[in-house]
């Protein structure tokens, strides 16, 4: 019988992976407490209709990525692909509009999308998310972005870029869409074939095209940012001012479209350059119509979600790139001394390691290389030498002053 494996696109979290994951979760828990967010948990599955109505019929998520099943009573249920629609459902169901507004909620848990698995893209993944429901103030947008920025930076996620845009109101967006379709039609001859075929179905996709002809056309295309009405432009201006005041750098992106239909006004995404194609670690925006769309009172709201696995991948990359500061290589009779020195170096704040598997000196040098160590500290005879792993240069060290000399 073949051995069982976890389903495609899923993974097991083993004890070795748990510590990093717990560190991310603990950082989130601590931050949310300081920012006044209360924890909320909703079920792993909901009525399918909630996502059809909430996330939007025309989205990839609803059209092809949901794990939908019928229960024994014949009801259609769906494993949640995202958390915002369920939380709005809970907000209405529990009459949270009667509480002081906005209601600030956070969550952490598994989500499910039937996507093509690849690095950073899974069929079951974890999100940490925040939703602030019941205020249209730009202060809310800014506070949410400041919070996510602090979470990612505090954890040490490297190479972050914040992309910021505004989609305006659905009405303004519909008018803009018509304008963009007309623009693409006027330049049809210069567009790639697949873009041309999708002008009506999804004109915004043209902004993501890779071919030069299309890119040249899109460089001159109008963006939704240039078509905001006065109230939306004022709101966006206020969000930008507040981010400037907080010292948070961002890139304006007039073409930022997110894969969910509920967004209005502000949208944003944090990207990490160390991740490949799936570079977005977290993102979100304002969704002023969603609560009403789900049968509640008209209630403005905003939020974001970050992918825990993507954060972990980004941190892992950073760790690997940083490599070791020093690997202690020791002859057989100097192994005890190697451990003592590695401990001292670690206590002095260096990333230090040593052989724990009885390798020969040559084997230890290979191991130092494999671990990306910048230097090897070689203990043989009575002395100590330091070797620069890149240049191969070596020099003698005063055995009593190893830690100072290695920059501890």
Report the interface residues with ligand HAM, using CB under 6 A: 82-84, 113, 115, 120-122, 125, 127, 129, 131, 258-260, 280-285, 287, 303-307, 309-310
Instruction: Write down the least CB distance from residue 125 to ligand HAM, Å.
Output: 3
- Give the whole-angstrom CA distance, residue 112 versus residue 66: 7
Q: Which residue is at the shortest CB distance from ligand HAM?
A: 307
Looking at the Cβ atoms of 84 and 223, the one nearer to ligand HAM is 84
Instruction: Write down the least CB distance from residue 263 to ligand HAM, Å.
Output: 7
Q: Which of 247, 242, 292, 245 is nearest to 266 (CA)?
A: 242
Looking at the Cβ atoms of 83 and 102, the one nearer to ligand HAM is 83
Looking at the Cβ atoms of 55 and 195, the one nearer to ligand HAM is 55
Instruction: Write down the least CB distance from residue 252 to ligand HAM, Å.
Output: 19
**Residue 407 zone, left/alpha/beta (φ > 0; ψ -120 to 50; rest):** left
Q: Which of 35, 270, 22, 238 is nearest to 147 (CA)?
A: 35
DSSP state, residue 118: B
Looking at the Cβ atoms of 265 and 375, the one nearer to ligand HAM is 265
Looking at the Cβ atoms of 115 and 319, the one nearer to ligand HAM is 115
Q: Which of 131, 121, 115 is nearest to 42 (CA)?
A: 131
SS3 at position 354: strand
Looking at the Cβ atoms of 258 and 335, the one nearer to ligand HAM is 258
- Give the whole-angstrom CA distance, residue 111 versus residue 345: 42
String of DSSP letters for 59-101: SHHHHH---EEE-TTS-EEEE-S-SHHHHHHHHHHTTGGGSSS
Instruction: Write down the least CB distance from residue 326 to ligand HAM, Å.
Output: 35
Looking at the Cβ atoms of 140 and 389, the one nearer to ligand HAM is 140
Instruction: Write down the least CB distance from residue 257 to ligand HAM, Å.
Output: 11
Q: Which of 90, 122, 113 is nearest to 103 (CA)?
A: 90
Q: Which of 16, 26, 112 is nearest to 316 (CA)?
A: 16
Instruction: Write down the least CB distance from residue 406 to ligand HAM, Å.
Output: 38
Structure tokens that stand for 43 in this block: 């079920």
Instruction: Write down the least CB distance from residue 271 to ligand HAM, Å.
Output: 9
């Amino acid at each position: 019988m073949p051995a069982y494996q976890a389903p495609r696109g899923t993974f097991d979290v083993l004890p070795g992976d748990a510590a990093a994951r717990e560190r991310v979760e603990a950082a989130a828990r601590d931050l949310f407490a300081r920012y006044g967010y209360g924890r909320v948990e909703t079920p792993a599955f909901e009525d399918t209709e909630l996502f059809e109505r909430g996330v939007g019929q025309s989205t990839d998520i609803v059209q092809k990525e949901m794990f939908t099943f019928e229960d024994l009573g014949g009801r259609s249920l769906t494993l949640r692909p995202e958390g915002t629609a369920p939380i709005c459902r809970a907000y209405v169901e529990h009459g949270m509009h009667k509480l002081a507004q906005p209601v600030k909620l956070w969550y952490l848990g598994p989500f499910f999308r039937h996507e093509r698995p690849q690095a950073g893209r899974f069929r079951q993944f974890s999100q940490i998310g925040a939703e602030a429901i019941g205020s249209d103030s730009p202060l809310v947008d800014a506070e949410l972005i400041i919070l996510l920025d602090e979470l990612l930076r505090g954890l040490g996620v490297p190479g972050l870029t914040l992309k910021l845009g505004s989609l305006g109101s659905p009405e303004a967006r519909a008018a803009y869409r018509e304008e963009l379709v007309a623009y693409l039609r006027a330049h049809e001859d210069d567009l790639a074939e697949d873009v041309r075929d999708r002008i009506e179905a999804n004109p915004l996709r043209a902004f993501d095209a890779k071919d030069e002809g299309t890119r040249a056309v899109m460089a001159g295309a109008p963006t939704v940012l240039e078509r905001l009405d006065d109230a939306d432009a004022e709101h966006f201006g206020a969000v930008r001012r507040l981010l400037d005041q907080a010292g948070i750098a961002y890139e304006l992106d007039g073409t930022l479209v997110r894969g969910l239909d509920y967004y209005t006004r502000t949208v944003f995404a944090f990207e990490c350059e160390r991740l490949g194609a799936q570079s977005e670690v977290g993102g979100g925006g304002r969704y002023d119509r969603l609560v009403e769309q789900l049968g509640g009172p008209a209630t403005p709201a905003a939020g974001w979600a970050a992918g825990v696995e993507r954060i972990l991948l980004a941190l892992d990359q950073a760790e690997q790139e940083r490599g070791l500061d020093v690997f202690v290589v020791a002859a057989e009779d100097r192994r005890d001394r190697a451990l003592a020195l590695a401990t001292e170096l670690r206590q002095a704040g260096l990333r230090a390691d040593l052989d724990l598997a009885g390798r020969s000196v040559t084997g230890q040098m290979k191991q130092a290389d494999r671990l990306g160590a910048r230097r090897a500290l070689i203990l043989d005879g009575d002395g100590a030498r330091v070797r620069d792993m890149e240049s191969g240069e070596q020099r003698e060290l005063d055995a009593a002053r190893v830690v100072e000399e290695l920059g501890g």
